[in-house]
Amino acid sequence: MRVSGVDEDALIAALGADAAPEHVVTELARAKASDVLPVLARDGISDAVVVGCDSMLLIDGSLQGKPGTVDVARARWSAMAGRSATLLTGHSVLRIAEGAVVGDAHDHSATVVHFASPPDADLEAYLATGEPLQVAGAFTLDSLGGWFVDRIEGDPSSVIGIGLPLVRRLLAEVGVGVAELWASSGRVG
């Protein structure tokens, strides 16, 4: 796993205010995947599959990323409590062979999240954990924030971080099967 150094705010600004939300998350994922290529080359990795991901919550026509502060997270929860919003997840898959990109596929998925209305004391306790500060939409599904999600419509894995059905399709587009990916990681075979 490699963390990209993409300046998300700068990229979003460069895409412009009229960029479709789906395009924004997909371009962020593409930029993150591409950003790690020099690191892989420096580390002597010339054959790999790179998966870049990014998620943002679309509510009231506005994309919400990581809140960063308790005050911003609190305001976001005020806007989404008792409502539904769409988590958009962009993925980019790059296939690298002999140091060159030989396959590139990218797309996004959308999952509707129905939020509960947590009591103030519970929300404040959640905010105090720090968990919602560094995740898209100020919530998680697979940890403490899951207590405040009533239900979802769509792929739960995309809410957790990597949309498995979408990545499986993108891997196939670049000629990599899931079992082949497992075998290269030493999990199968």
pLDDT digits (tens, 9 = 90+) for 7-38: 888 999 999 989 999 999 999 999 999 999 99
Condensed to tens digits (0 to 9), the pLDDT of residues 107-136 reads 999 999 999 999 999 999 999 999 999 998
Per the CB < 8 A criterion, the answer to whether 162 and 181 are in contact is no
| Alpha-carbon gap, residue 46 to 49, rounded angstroms | 10
Catalytic residues: 54
* Dihedral over Cα of 75, 80, 85, 88: its sign: positive
Q: What is the DSSP letter of 132?
A: G
Both tokens of residue 84?
A: 């539904």
| Cut 0.85: pTM above it | yes
Both tokens of residue 169?
A: 């399709």
| Alpha-carbon gap, residue 41 to 159, rounded angstroms | 31
Task: Single out the residue of 110, 70, 69 nearest to residue 89, CA to CA.
Answer: 110
Q: Give the model's confidence band at 187: pLDDT under 50 very low, under 70 low, under 90 confident, else very high.
A: low
Give residue 5's pLDDT: 83
Residue 184 has pLDDT above 80, yes or no: no
Both tokens of residue 163?
A: 């949309």
Chain mean pLDDT for the chain: 92
Kindly give, in sequence order, each residue whose CB lies less than 8 Å from that of residue 98, ignoring residues fewer than 6 positions away. 46, 47
Condensed to tens digits (0 to 9), the pLDDT of residues 149-171 reads 999 999 999 998 899 999 999 99
Average confidence (pLDDT) over 166-183: 91
Q: What is the DSSP letter of 148?
A: G
Structural domains present in the chain = 8-178 (3.90.950.10)
Per the CB < 8 A criterion, the answer to whether 109 and 154 are in contact is yes
Give residue 13's pLDDT: 92
